[in-house]
Amino acid sequence: MKDLLLGIDIGTSACKIAVFDKKGNVQAQSKQDCKLYYPNPGWVEQNPEEWWNSICIGIKDCIAKADIIPSQIRGIGIDGQGWSAIPVDREGNCLYNTPIWMDTRAKDIAGHVTNDIGADNIFKVSGNTFLPSYTTPKMLWFKEAKPEIYKKTYKFLQSNSYIGYKLTGVMSADKCQSYGIHFYNTKTCTYDKELANAMGLSTDKVPDIFSCHDVIGCVTKNAAEVTGLMEGIPVVAGGLDAACGTLGAGVYYAKQTQIQGGQAGGMSICEDQPIAHPKLIFGPHVVPDLWLLQGGTVGGGGVLRWFKQELGEGKSFDELTALAEEVPSGADGVIFLPFMSGERCPIWNPNAKAVFYGLGFDKTKGHMIRAALEGVVFSVAHNFKEAEEAGVNIKELDLRAMGGAANSRLWMQIYADVTGCRISISSSDTATTLGAAILAGVGTGLYRNFKEAVEDTVKITRVQEPDQINHEKYKKSMELYLELCEALKDTFNR
């Protein structure tokens, strides 16, 4: 009998479902688009019930596509976007749309709490700066702006834990995803009641913590009926999408590093000791006893998607990047700041705006596309620069790329040339769902450990080496990028 694993990824633009065999080969996959809601300036919401409906459709689609026998599915893993704040009552009913990671409605609250408690006191526990995009300020926003919702809230859930509840009826939190809650101690993986109380919150409002590969429960009869799954399939806690993608790219020991090229961009440096930096994101990996020092940017694959939609004139992604290939490295001095919805790491400015600099009558659409691709890479490289301040030696890192951007040889070559590092690319489109599935495989005993799981499933499809001549050119472009970021800081904040 075939052993299969199901991975679920709750992304920003879509929910992805994939079924893998024990060797990590995709048996079936499905992608269901998700809606974003912008009810007020700075607000970005999603409806968790719509996630669940999309996942139900996607699972049925996968089963039908490959004639999968549900009894062959040994386990289910779930990953999801970070920093949700999903208020649910005791029966698990969702009480309000969740503000997502792009939402900055709680920026005033974040400022007040930081002033009252002290940035150092918060950072000492959480390893993260108290910023509006995280979960904690959103919980406080519900308390202040929607007291009737807050009062009815039994637990605040994350994206993956909400879907875990819908599948099993068990409310959970996991060691990785919980880093978005600032009274969660990212070193000990426990809640700090004293800090929660100081913030005016209670640890009673968050679920018990599980390891990411722990089985939290099994598929219920009701969930089986609406998904087409078999009742009783074990479901593990799961974790953050970027961390599961990091595992799915083959990162399971120190100094390995994932470069993310999905809707958003970023990097995740794996360490065997907790190393935090106030301008970066810090939290436990989905693999036990490892941590990730992360840089999460707003600009990623979404930048090229926007360009294609608004200025692409019907051209495909490949046709657009072909235009960019005709332009030399550095885009003849055109620089793009990819702050399409403010920016996260490392400048943390919700007011930041996307900017093209250096346009002229001699510049073409190819220059703009090239600059857009490079600007996304510069934003990630900016995070590497901050990581060096925390003691990370970039040249020691083993870089692994994932996400849709990893399909582009040009984009990955720009990453290699800007960083000066070799880039290994795995099966990029499925890295995140594969990471979730690996958690299920380890949690149910299909794999003895994470080493065996990665060696069995992760396949490097190509390696791209840096061009040292271009690396030197990009140093000058990077200097100009950083100069523009600094020069426009006050303008953004007006």
- Examine residue 206 and state whether it is found in any structural domain, yes or no: yes
Asked if residue 296 and residue 167 are part of one domain, the reply reads: no
- Examine residue 221 and state whether it is found in any structural domain, yes or no: yes
- Examine residue 186 and state whether it is found in any structural domain, yes or no: yes
Asked if residue 147 and residue 258 are part of one domain, the reply reads: no
Task: Provide mean pLDDT across the span 200-217.
Answer: 98
- Cα–Cα dist 405/316, whole Å: 14
**Residue after which a domain boundary falls, among 241, 263, 293:** 241
* 12: Cβ contacts below 8 Å, ≥ 6 apart: 34, 36, 46, 81, 100, 101, 102, 263, 264
Which residues pair with residue 340 across a beta bridge? 342
CB atoms within 10 A of CB 249: 32
- Examine residue 451 and state whether it is found in any structural domain, yes or no: no
Asked if residue 221 and residue 273 are part of one domain, the reply reads: no
Question: Closest by alpha carbon to 438, among 421, 426, 425?
Answer: 426
pLDDT score for 426: 86
User: What is the pLDDT of the chain when averaged over all its residues?
Assistant: 96
- Cα–Cα dist 105/28, whole Å: 39
E strands in 262-338: 265-271, 281-284, 291-297, 335-337
- Examine residue 17 and state whether it is found in any structural domain, yes or no: yes
Asked if residue 264 and residue 228 are part of one domain, the reply reads: no
- Domain count for the chain, please give it: 2
pLDDT reading at 124 higher than 70:
yes
Strands 291-297 and 265-271: antiparallel
Task: Provide mean pLDDT across the span 158-165.
Answer: 98
CB atoms within 10 A of CB 265: 28
**Residue after which a domain boundary falls, among 212, 241, 270:** 241
- Is residue 2 within 8 Å of residue 72, measured between CB atoms? yes
- Examine residue 262 and state whether it is found in any structural domain, yes or no: yes
- Three-state DSSP state, 49: helix
Task: Provide mean pLDDT across the span 258-271.
Answer: 90
Burial (CB count <10 Å: 0-12, 13-18, 19+), residue 113: buried
Task: Provide mean pLDDT across the span 333-343.
Answer: 95
Rounded to the nearest 10°, the torsion over CA 344, 425, 175, 212 is: 150
pLDDT score for 4: 98
- Is residue 337 within 8 Å of residue 376, measured between CB atoms? no
Helix axes 431-443, 450-457, angle to 10 degrees: 140
Task: Provide mean pLDDT across the span 102-114.
Answer: 94
Burial (CB count <10 Å: 0-12, 13-18, 19+), residue 390: middle
Asked if residue 465 and residue 359 are part of one domain, the reply reads: yes
Per the document, the length of the chain is 494
pLDDT score for 1: 72
E strands in 285-433: 291-297, 335-337, 355-357, 398-402, 423-425
Digit-coded pLDDT (tens) for 129-158? 999 999 999 999 999 999 999 999 999 999
* 319: Cβ contacts below 8 Å, ≥ 6 apart: none
Sign of the dihedral defined by the CA atoms of residues 421, 426, 428, 430, in that order = negative
E strands in 403-458: 423-425
Which residues pair with residue 19 across a beta bridge? 6, 28
- Cα–Cα dist 412/422, whole Å: 10
pLDDT reading at 72 higher than 80:
yes
307 band by pLDDT with thresholds 50, 70 and 90: very high
- Cα–Cα dist 441/355, whole Å: 44
pLDDT score for 429: 75
Residue 417: give the domain boundaries: 251-425+461-494
Asked if residue 344 and residue 280 are part of one domain, the reply reads: yes
Q: What is the pTM of this model?
A: 0.93
Asked if residue 293 and residue 207 are part of one domain, the reply reads: no
- Is residue 139 within 8 Å of residue 156, measured between CB atoms? yes
Digit-coded pLDDT (tens) for 390-428? 999 998 999 999 888 899 999 999 999 999 999 999 866
Task: Provide mean pLDDT across the span 249-277.
Answer: 93
**pLDDT > 90: what percent of the chain?**
92
Asked if residue 332 and residue 213 are part of one domain, the reply reads: no
Burial (CB count <10 Å: 0-12, 13-18, 19+), residue 412: buried
**Residue after which a domain boundary falls, among 219, 241, 263:** 241
What's the start-to-end Cα distance of the chain, in Å? 63
Task: Provide mean pLDDT across the span 49-58.
Answer: 98
Compute the radius of gyration of the chain from its Cα atoms.
Answer: 22
pLDDT score for 350: 83
Asked if residue 221 and residue 271 are part of one domain, the reply reads: no
pLDDT score for 208: 98
Asked if residue 396 and residue 283 are part of one domain, the reply reads: yes
Question: Closest by alpha carbon to 340, among 433, 285, 265?
Answer: 265
pLDDT score for 263: 78
Higher model confidence: residue 258 or residue 429? 258
102 band by pLDDT with thresholds 50, 70 and 90: confident
- Three-state DSSP state, 369: helix
What are the Cα distances from residue 181, in Å, to 82, 175, 185, 191?
A: 10, 11, 9, 9
| DSSP 8-state secondary structure symbol assigned to residue 392 | -
pLDDT score for 428: 60
- Cα–Cα dist 297/8, whole Å: 23
Asked if residue 267 and residue 232 are part of one domain, the reply reads: no
Asked if residue 143 and residue 64 are part of one domain, the reply reads: yes
Rounded to the nearest 10°, the torsion over CA 376, 379, 380, 386 is: 170
